[in-house]
A and B are shown apart, each in its own frame.
Chain A
Amino acid sequence: MRQARGFLAPYLLSLPSWVYLLAFFLIPLASMLGMALAVGDPISGYTMSDNYQEVIGAFTGYESSFVRSFWYGTASTVITLAISYPVAYWIAFYAGRHKSTYLFIIMLPFFVSFVIRVLAWEFILSDQGFLLGPLKALGVLPESFRILSTKWAVIGGLVYNSFAYYVLPLYVVLEKIDRRLVRAANDLYAAPATAFIKIILPLSAPGIFAGFLLVFVTNVGDYVNAALLGGPGTYMVGNVIQDAFFQSQDYPLAASLSSILMLMLMIAILLYSKAFGTDAIQEYAA
């Protein structure tokens, strides 16, 4: 009896997570896949079909949006990594007792609503705004120069919005690195750059990996930045799905595209973790 209880305990303890997974992940997922397979329209209702071709067929016509989403997602994630690594590194190694203050400052903008922050960039970056206006008046930039309504505005918006989500996982791993290892490397005549490449970078790889997933997945599916900062020709899959859902009320199309996007992300993540997964990282570190 006692043994049985001991055996069950971990399952019982994890029950809330299972219920949570079921209610907020598995059921919505099944409902999305079901909708992707449905045929009909909002007036006369929907019936189930088993037409998988239809689901895959939804892809045609939207290839460019998918390609664009993955390209914006990758570019923005790489740029975010490049910006947030030095920041996380500096806070972890040099901020001393003010670490939490700096982390708080990084988190601060995120207390403001996401859409408001993006709208603020629309204002700051406007053609005659207080950033570009003076530069144009001084002749530093040509009169026709603009940032808004370009792909760089969208990628920039994605970078800005994912910054904190990359700094935090990086900070967590960098903070934990045993400083004696770096000192040992120095004692063994490693130049600072070598010590960084041989010691710190490999040890922080799990943070790079986790942050990459966190930021990449969110950014590929984003649609707010493209809608507010983009121009013609910056439409991402998220925008197409939003249109299909709210404008055309084409729920099967929206569900099909969402399923395809999810599948592609899953494949991308699998390949990614296969290539740079934690096993490989640990081998490298060892």
Chain B
Amino acid sequence: MSQDDQSGDKSMQAFYRGMTQPRLSRQNFMRGAGAAMMAALAPQLARAETVKDWKAWWASQKPTKEFVFANWPLYIDTSTDGKDRPSIDAFEKQTGINVTYKEVIQEDAPFYAQIAPVLKSGQPSGYDMIVMTDGWYLTELLMQKFLVPIWREKVPNFDKYAAPSVKNPPYDPGNKHTMVWQSGLTGIAYNPKMTKREITSYEDLWDPAFAGHVGMFSDVQELGCAGLLKLGINPTTSTPAEWEKAAATLKEQKAKGLVRQYYDQSYINALENGDIWITMAWSGDIYQANSKGYKDLKFVVPKQGAVIWHDNMCIPVGAKNPLSALEWMNYYYTPEVAGMVEDYVNYICPVPAAKDYILNVIKDPAVANSPLVFPPQSELARVHEYYAFKNYADYMKWNNIFNPIVQS
């Protein structure tokens, strides 16, 4: 029996005791009300039985003809009429597996909140594969043992074709549970017409000449990294003492009135409208802004380096068709399929060989030669991974240091 069950029982006892006591003090009443609520939640909080021997578990799985794939919107190749997804169609034809593709992930946190209680109760989430960004929620899925370890022998293409930048990431050493779907860079974007000069450094986000027209991210994981990089500190290996220093420099930036707003995704509108001249930015957004007509906007990997994030394919526990998921992973990690997807998605492709496929077979040099989709090795050498949180306390320490910047 898990800890949660026991506490549920204990509080249930407290509840009954409280209910049968002749004189109900207010405190006991409050506790009773809380206990009633916790008792109501108890079945949900009960832990799923964890599989001990994953090797045996995998061996006991039988191939199925179904595959349910949960992904983010606009994250797979789609025909112009929106009816066909060529990479999925080809997979179905090749394997005879029927794919149910669901664009249900808008953001990591709400999606996590949606599946976590289900997984915790030991129920299947209904998905065989989900795509999660590296960061706290993926770490939490791993800590809770909500992800099935990948049977690597079934995915030989990963070892053959995956870019060095997506192998052995700090958040999942040895790619035991995750394989990258797409990556992206967090760097700086600017409008040269407004800044009237080249931007090369995080220092430029602190330039008083741009006061009131600097955009920063409200996501504290990103914001903290920007502060660290400005001070020349590598976020991946940073320490709490360095986080404090980064927070101090970010506070100074705010106090001087440089920051216009701490943005979520909406920074891109502000940049397109000219409200902000220079901003923290995601590479994929700038690529899309460029191709929809905002040609002036530029994305740079600053001299201190950019941050690389990864959206990862992973198999949630309780998946009904895990072998189909492995099959899909192996299928995706080929130049042809990754190229097909990449030509539509335009983030950073985890398969470098897809570049030649897009150039020679699909014949789309705009994508193949874009440094935003296939960054040159010299740029990838200058990118940093997020700091991987060790536990919840570690995560809260980061939050408590950086939250006040956005919140006060």
Contacts and interface: CB of A to CB of B under 8 A. Distances in A.
B407 A235 contact: yes
B260 A231 contact: yes
A247 to B, nearest CB: 7
A257 to B, nearest CB: 11
B73 to A, nearest CB: 16
A56 B266 CA distance: 34
Given A126-B273, A128-B273, A235 B33 contact: no
Interface residues of B, number: 54
A116 interface: no
**Which residue among B143, B404, B406 has the maximum number of chain A CB atoms within 10 Å of its CB?**
B406
Interface in A69-119: 119
Interface in B137-159: 140, 143-144
Given A227-B264, A235-B408, A246-B109, A48 B38 contact: yes
B90 interface: no
B180 to A, nearest CB: 23
B133 interface: no
A246 B45 CA distance: 19
Contacts of B4: 45
A126 B40 CA distance: 48
A206 interface: no
Contacts of B362: none
Contacts of B40: 27, 31
B119 to A, nearest CB: 12
B7 A30 contact: no
Contacts of B38: 34, 38, 46, 48
A45 B273 contact: no
Contacts of B406: 232, 235, 243
Given A119-B266, A240-B407, A41 B392 contact: yes
B104 interface: no
A47 interface: yes
B11 interface: yes
Contact of A48 (B3, B35, B269, B275): B35
Interface in B387-408: 391-393, 395-396, 399, 403-404, 406-408
B117 to A, nearest CB: 11
B361 interface: no
A61 B400 CA distance: 11
B136 A249 contact: yes
A68 to B, nearest CB: 10
Given A33-B33, A146-B275, 5 more contacts: A122-B270, A149-B212, A227-B264, A231-B261, A249-B109
22 contacts: A31-B40, A33-B30, A33-B33, A34-B36, A37-B31, A42-B392, A46-B38, A47-B7, A48-B7, A48-B31, A61-B404, A122-B269, A126-B275, A128-B273, A129-B273, A149-B261, A228-B266, A232-B406, A243-B403, A247-B403, A248-B399, A248-B403
Interface of B: 2-4, 7, 11, 14, 27, 30-31, 33-38, 40-41, 45, 107, 109-110, 113, 116, 136, 140, 143-144, 212, 218-220, 254, 259-262, 264, 266, 269-270, 273-275, 391-393, 395-396, 399, 403-404, 406-408
